[in-house]
């Protein structure tokens, strides 16, 4: 498999309000292969969202290199499907306009594209809601519009930052299974931030763990479950044991 994303000795720090430099990443290196589903887990404030902002080009590293598909692209913004923690939908735009935003921004929203977006909306269970506004939708539906918008960016790499953390348990489960179906069908590479250990294990091929700040090396777990996965895999003893271990590891990292 080709490399989708490579971090090579990446260092990032920001200036705190007291003027001191706070380092978040210290010569961090890791690789994500094309087509992988990788979760990123770690205590809040450890720098997970910052990692996504670096990947998408919203922040710039102090040192080191970030490669996408083998290229050290300077301007990655617009080349990555980024779904932020809050769904990020614009309240004054309809479902259709929100979903089609990346195409409009690129000037690619002609008749053909319009037809394509309508078809995708149907596939995503949003038919009949094209002209509704985000506040008229359920949480799961808003997440699907947001996900569709990330997809329509055309990027092979999707960054999803705690997309399901605000959903109730049942909707979350349904969305997780739905996401796995989309991922399998579309052959995308997904990086997925979560603080939910079970979610990370259920979805991922690998889990990367932020265990210290600044992060010099990410912990890594390969999930020993086949695919396709269903809810019943959550009862698999290997799964339960790994979940307990991961929870214990994370518990050690939390200071209260």
Interface residue list for Mg ion (CB under 5 A):
49
Q: Which range binds ligand ADP by CB under 6 A, 38-46, 87-95, 148-156, 230-238?
A: 38-46
Angle of helix 139-152 relative to helix 111-123, nearest 10 degrees? 140
Q: Decide which of ligand ADP, Mg ion, none touches 50; Cβ closer than 5 to 8 Å per partner kind.
A: ligand ADP
Q: Per CB under 6 A, does 4 bind ligand ADP?
A: no
CA distances from 149 to 21, 29, 134 (A): 35, 29, 13
Residue choice 5, 6, 10, 24 for contact with ligand ADP (CB under 6 A): 24
Q: DSSP letter for 231, please.
A: G
Q: Per CB under 6 A, does 47 bind ligand ADP?
A: yes
Strand (E) or helix (H) holding 225:
none
The two tokens of residue 175 are 């969305």
Q: Per CB under 6 A, does 49 bind ligand ADP?
A: yes
Is the Cβ of residue 121 or residue 191 nearer to ligand ADP in the bound state? 191
Q: Per CB under 6 A, does 232 bind ligand ADP?
A: no
Q: How far is the CB of 59 from ligand ADP (least distance, A)?
A: 6
Q: Decide which of ligand ADP, Mg ion, none touches 151; Cβ closer than 5 to 8 Å per partner kind.
A: none
Q: How far is the CB of 194 from Mg ion (least distance, A)?
A: 10
Q: Per CB under 6 A, does 26 bind ligand ADP?
A: no
User: Residue 247 and residue 101: Cα distance in Å, rounded?
Assistant: 39
Residue whose beta carbon is closest to Mg ion: 49
Coil vs helix vs strand at 104: helix
Q: Buried b / exposed e across 139-174, counting CB within 10 Å, b at 16+?
A: ebbbbbbbbbbbbbbebbbbbbbbbbeebeeebbbe
Q: How far is the CB of 119 from ligand ADP (least distance, A)?
A: 34
Residues binding ligand ADP: what is the number (CB under 6 A)?
10
Across the chain, the runs of DSSP E, i.e. the strands, are: 3-15, 21-33, 37-41, 63-68, 81-83, 157-161, 189-193, 206-209, 219-222
Q: Which residues bind ligand ADP (CB under 6 A)?
A: 14, 24, 42, 44-50
């Amino acid at each position: 498999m080709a490399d989708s994303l490579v971090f090579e000795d990446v260092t990032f720090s920001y200036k705190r309000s007291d003027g001191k430099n706070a380092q978040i990443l210290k010569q961090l290196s890791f690789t994500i292969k094309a087509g992988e589903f990788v979760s990123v887990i770690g205590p809040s404030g450890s720098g997970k969202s910052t990692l996504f902002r670096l990947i998408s080009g919203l922040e710039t590293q102090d040192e080191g290199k970030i490669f996408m598909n083998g290229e050290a692209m300077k301007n990655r913004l617009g080349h990555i499907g980024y779904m932020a923690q809050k769904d990020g939908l614009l309240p004054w735009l309809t479902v259709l306009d929100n979903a089609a935003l990346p195409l409009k921004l690129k000037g690619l929203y002609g008749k053909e594209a319009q037809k394509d977006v309508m078809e995708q909306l149907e596939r995503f269970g949003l038919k009949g809601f094209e002209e509704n506004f985000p506040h008229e939708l359920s949480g799961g539906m808003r997440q699907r519009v947001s996900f569709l918008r990330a997809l329509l960016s055309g990027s092979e790499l999707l960054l999803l930052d705690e997309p399901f953390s605000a959903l109730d348990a049942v909707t979350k489960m349904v969305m997780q299974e739905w996401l796995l179906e989309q991922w399998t069908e579309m052959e995308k590479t997904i990086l997925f931030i979560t603080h939910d250990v079970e979610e990370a294990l259920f979805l991922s091929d690998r889990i990367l763990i932020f265990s210290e700040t600044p992060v010099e090396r990410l912990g890594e777990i390969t999930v020993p479950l086949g695919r396709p996965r269903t809810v019943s895999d959550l009862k698999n003893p290997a799964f339960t044991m790994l979940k307990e271990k991961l929870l214990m590891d994370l518990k050690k990292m939390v200071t209260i």
